[in-house]
Homo-oligomer: A and B are copies of this chain.
Amino acid sequence: MTKNAGCLDFRLEMSNIATTSPSSSVGDYVKAIWELGGGTGTASTKEIAGRLSVAPASVTNMLGRLRERGFVDYERYRGASLTEEGRAEALRLVRRHRLIETFLLEHLGYSWEDVHEEAERLEHAVSDAFTERLAKMLGHPERDPHGEPIPTVDGTLAPDDSRSLVDAEAGERVAISRVSPGVGDDDAPVLVYLGERGLVPGRELVVEEVRAVDGVVTVEDEDGVSHALGPALAASIFVRIYPESAQE
């Protein structure tokens, strides 16, 4: 472990000396493309601009620079997709982000909906050494507080075997695996609402009804409380059928 940390320090030093480490802007773009493209797909200029609250022209500009740097494949009017290098960089940031969120929540008492913004700033400031020490301190968690999988150091991301609640069927017994409001900006209200009602990752539910006419999903939680969720809310909740460790 001491050996490991030393190795990481070394890697960090090298990356600082050899190649200039990506600025936080570059990181933001790469991460945005990763999130929009789902890891493999393509993101359009407009989508990226919306995600980062930046003018489309700025995106075009930066995309050119990212191409030079080898992070994206990009041809004008064609949108951008990540290269292997870009994907690795994105996963590195996602790992940092999710570990930091976990720390903020578990050790600093942040609320579920507040962690994102702080993590967003911190992920650009911490070193790889810090990240790995934090991971160790947290017990190498595999998922963050929202239930999202945390990429490993070598850039592996656990496959996502969960489905949205809107695709559930009445009678199914499920466990919430993650809560991911759409890629829009204002996630906080949704997270607050669900958090207050205990609808957080790990919670087990029974699907009572998925009403075709208006998309409202009704579920019953472990305490026997029923929740009627509108389509937007239900779409934010991802579940796994019959949790692995299901007893009873």
A143 at the interface (CB under 8 A from B): no
Stretch in A52-60, A68-76, A106-114 touching the partner: A106-114
Query: Closest residue to A109 on the B side, CB-wise?
Result: B133
**Beta-carbon contact of B127 and A125 below 8 Å:** no
**Beta-carbon contact of B110 and A121 below 8 Å:** no
A129 at the interface (CB under 8 A from B): yes
Of B107, B118, B125, the residue contacting A121 (CB under 8 A) is B125
A103 → chain B, closest Cβ, in Å? 10
Query: Closest residue to A111 on the B side, CB-wise?
Result: B5
- Give the number of times this chain occurs in the complex, counting copies: 2
Q: Which residues of A contact B (CB under 8 A)?
A: 9, 104, 107-110, 114, 118, 121-122, 124-127, 129-130, 133-134, 136-137
Give 25 A-B contacts (CB < 8 Å), ordered by A residue: A9-B114, A104-B130, A107-B137, A108-B130, A108-B133, A108-B134, A108-B137, A109-B133, A109-B136, A109-B137, A110-B133, A118-B126, A118-B127, A118-B129, A118-B130, A121-B125, A121-B126, A121-B127, A122-B122, A122-B125, A122-B126, A122-B130, A124-B125, A125-B125, A125-B126
